[in-house]
Structures are given as structure tokens and as C-alpha cells.
Amino acid sequence: MKIELKDNKIFLENQGVRKEIHPFWLRERVNGEEHLDQITQQRLFDPTKLKNNIKIDELKLSGDFLEVSFNDGTYNKFSIQNILNEFKNNNYNIKKIVWDSSFKFSNIFYFEKNIFEKKDMYEALAHFYKYGFVIFKNVPTKNNFIVDFANSIGSVRRTNFGEFFNVKSKPNPNDLAYTSLALAPHTDNPYRNPVPCIQLLHCIENEVRGGLSTLVDGYNVSEKLKKDYPDYYKILTETKVRFQFIDENIILENWSEMIELDQNRNFKQVRFSPRLDFVPLINKKKLDLFYAARKKISELYNSDKFKIEFKLVPGDLILMDNYRLLHGRTKYDANEGNRFLQGCYIDYDSTEGKIKHLKKKFNL
Ligand SMILES: [Fe+2]
């Protein structure tokens, strides 16, 4: 990739493809002190107020810099590397790796003070993006530490349950999570708009024999469905269902597909919580197909082929992608002892913001 100049025009040459860099595009990027705040990197001018016919009057390559005089009287010395960086993939760009019940836990990290600013945190978040989850061990079991943890990556996503929630059996629960019953694999809060992206769960106490945590790679399951049962995949990616949650003082509803795809028809998100999904009364044939498809995906989510089971011990904290993974737990006997987990949510801007920051900081 390189910059070429001809007749007061600038071209980007990349793998045999030549493209002119629009003079306005460059003018917007002038970065002298009077044009750009040097700390925030925010513009000190409003580019929508510039005249449209910005042209280049003079152009000069000098070493690693490009000196440009524009026809509105502005002069700027651009770093060529900075211009080229705009065309590189500066994203954290980590590919998903699908997994099933044979998964070997290669994504375990040990908490230490200030880990949030260390290279280890970059590695941990990279594993989170690869596998959809990461486990931190030895996280202090102080009450509510989970909120500090979440806020050290980004910001807690508060919901009507509060900043965080306690998972232990309690009388008159408003959700099955607060009983000692088994919880089949599900995604959290599909009824919210938007759905919380990432769930954090921190084990404070776990004295019971049961209550194992379960995880399923929903991405892997949806790819399996696409390959083996394309009709089922199609209807689950095209039918919007209503997810709802009703409590004393709130009704939360969201209409969405059980497998949501992005604009390129690639995987975006799974939603699965069969106690609170309501399909609209579409025609009977379609409904026949929808119900068969939902049954099949439920079988896959619950099958031993895709599910991992493990015991969380005090100090363990999982960060899991609620758009990709399903989670659950096996039942336990509340008379055997205490089982106490705390949970909260963050959104992708937290993890993306952190991993990009660490990538830049450590030049990775
Ligand atoms: Fe849950």
C-alpha cells in the first residue's frame, strides 16, 4: 500500500488498485493545533461549514510527510503512515472459533491488581471474542466487587433489576433463576431492547454438589442448523417472535428472530428463552415449520454434544457473550449449603473500547 501523486492529486495504490483520495477527505483530516484538539483528537472546526469545492493547490512529498496547501488557504503536513493507517484494518479483528462439548478450557486467566491495564487483559478479551467467554480466577469475593470489575472494563449496563443481581434461591422469586431448579440453556433478557450484550457472573459461595454451570456455543449450533436443516434455519432467521417479561411495575417486550443475521446474512445474535417467547399467528404451514425448527434447535442447545458443564468455585468470574452463548445450570439442593453468585451486564462498547485501547497501548 502506498501513496502516489500526480497533477495535484493524491492516489492510494493498494494491491494493484488505484484510488484517488478526495481532497475534502484530506481537508477534514488537517491536524494542526488550530484545527484539531491535540488531546481529544476532536476537530476544532465544523467540516459541514467548509465550502464544497475544496481542491489542492500545492502538494509536496517530503520524507514521511505529505505537505498540502488547500484552496481555502489551509496548509497541513500529514504523516503518510497516519493516512495509510486509515486503510488498514485497525479493528481488533478476532475470528470466532466454534466449540462443542469437547472444548478444553484454554481461556482461563488469573485476576491480579491492575489487570485491567495489563497485556493479560488484552489476551483475556481476545479469548472472549474467540470463544464467546473467558473465566477469571481468584477475583476477590467481596460483595458487589462485580460492579467494580465491570466498570474497570467499561460501564455497567444498569437494568430494572438494578446495577447487579444476586443469584441465590429466595422466597417468591420473580424469575426461575432465583430458585434451586435446573435452568436449561438460555440467553438472558431477550425481551430487552437492546438485549444486554455481555453477562458477568461472579461466584461468591458454592457449597452445593449440584448447581454446575452450563454453556453452549449458540453460534456453533446455528451453523450446524444451517448446514443440516436449512429450512429450519431459514424460518428461525426470518420469523420475529415476541419476547416478554412482566413484573409488578414494568412490561418489557421485544420482537426479534431466534437467530438474527446481519445485513450480509451472517450470524449476529441468538435468542433463546422458551418460557417467554410468543410467535405471532402466521399461516399454519409456516407455523408447523417454525415449531419443528424451534424443537430441533432446542434439542441441539440441550444436547450433550454441544454443552459444557463445570463447577464455578468462589473467586471465579465468567464474562460471557449473551449474543452468542447460552448459559444455564444443573439443579441443586439448597439444603446442602450456600450457593451465591452475583451478576451484571456490560455492552460491547465496553469490551471493544478496552481491547482497542490495550491493542494500541501495547502496540499489538
Ligand atoms: Fe440467565
DSSP β-bridge partners for residue 183: 329
CA of 189 to the centre of ligand 1 (A): 8
Report whether pLDDT(170) > 80: no
Cβ < 5 A residues, ion ligand 1: 188
Q: What whole-number distance in Å separates Cα of residue 311 and Cα of residue 254?
A: 32
Instruction: Output the pTM of the full model.
Output: 0.90
Lowest mean pLDDT among 118-132, 163-177, 267-281: 163-177
Question: What are the sequence ranges of the domains in the chain?
Answer: 2-85, 108-361
All 3 cell numbers of residue 333? 439442593
CA of 94 to the centre of ligand 1 (A): 26
User: Taking residues 262-280, what's their average pLDDT?
Assistant: 96
Place of cell 411495575: 249
Per residue in 305-326, pLDDT (tens digit) is: 999 999 999 999 999 999 999 9
194 cis-preceded (ω within 30 degrees of 0): yes
Contact in structure between 108 and 308 (CB atoms under 8 Å) = no
Place of cell 414494568: 250
Query: Can you give the pLDDT at residue 88?
Result: 75
Using only C-alpha atoms, the chain has a radius of gyration, in whole angstroms, of: 26
Q: What whole-number distance in Å separates Cα of residue 321 and Cα of residue 309?
A: 17
Per residue in 28-86, pLDDT (tens digit) is: 999 999 999 999 999 999 999 999 999 999 999 999 999 999 999 999 999 999 998 88
CA of 329 to the centre of ligand 1 (A): 9
Q: In CATH, what is the architecture of 108-361?
A: 4-Layer Sandwich (3.60)
The band of 171, judged by pLDDT with boundaries at 50, 70 and 90, is low
CA of 183 to the centre of ligand 1 (A): 8
CA nearest to 221, candidates 95, 101, 347: 101
Query: Can you give the pLDDT at residue 90?
Result: 62
Query: Can you give the pLDDT at residue 93?
Result: 79
Per residue in 215-225, pLDDT (tens digit) is: 999 999 999 99
Which range scores top for mean pLDDT: 203-212, 236-245, 329-338?
236-245
Torsion, Cα of 292, 298, 304, 310 (10° steps): 180
Lowest mean pLDDT among 170-184, 254-268, 307-321: 170-184
CATH class of 2-85: alpha beta
CA of 67 to the centre of ligand 1 (A): 56
All 3 cell numbers of residue 109? 486467566
Q: Name every residue whose Cβ is closer than 8 Å to that of residue 72 and which is 6 or more positions away in sequence.
A: 27, 50, 51, 54
**3-state DSSP assignment of residue 249:** coil
